[in-house]
Amino acid sequence: MQLFLIRHPRPQVAEGVCYGQSDVTLAEDAAAVAARIKPLLPDAPVYSSPLTRCRLLAQALHPAPVCDDRLREIHFGAWEMRTWDEIGRPAVDAWVADPLHYAGHGGESIAMLRRRAAACAAEIAARHDAAVLVVHAGVMKALAVELLGLPDAAWFSTSFAFGTVSLIEDGRLVWQNI
């Protein structure tokens, strides 16, 4: 199974703002990003988060992308659309102390995100030999940890650039941030 993971283009959000599932618009042109990455992709079904920043790119890549709520970014609850400074060091430290299970912000934990993203990917893999997923960094990290068997700590050391493609094939990372 080949999963082509694409992170959405850069959103129109100030640096340092925790935006999670907030439906923000794009700072980059989705059609231009699609034109750049489309040659890297197979003729395969496209699945997307329903959030605008992913959906616009998915629509530029495929005439009929499938939107799935399980591909949304992690929900940061009361932290949404606040700067990390506004959230405050004690709250961020509590999250970092138990990142897998912390949901003190009223949203969801990383473990919750991982379960829903992995379940979605498993269903897609059962139906297709290859698929394209237009998603968020959190979903990409969740799938990398789950599908590559990485330790939980890899969540914080793995990064995916805006508007890039990464390929996971049969449980191994073939390329990242292309």
Residue pLDDT, tens place only, 107-166:
999 999 999 999 999 999 999 999 999 999 999 999 999 999 999 888 889 999 999 999
Which structure tokens are listed for 150? Answer: 């990485």
pTM of the model: 0.95
Residue pLDDT, tens place only, 18-61:
999 999 999 999 999 999 999 999 999 999 999 999 999 999 99
Compare 55 and 99 and report the one with higher pLDDT: 55
Q: For domain 9-41+50-62+70-128+137-160, give the CATH superfamily.
A: Phosphoglycerate mutase-like (3.40.50.1240)
Segment 75-92 shows an average pLDDT of 96
Q: Give the DSSP H/E element, type plus range, for residue 135.
A: strand 130-135
Segment 56-69 shows an average pLDDT of 98
| Amino acid found at 14 | A
In Å, how far are 6, 77, 102, 178 from 175, measured between CA atoms?
12, 33, 31, 7
Cβ-based neighbours of 116, under 8 Å, separated by 6 or more: 70
- Whether residue 96 is predicted with pLDDT greater than 90 in this model: the reply is no
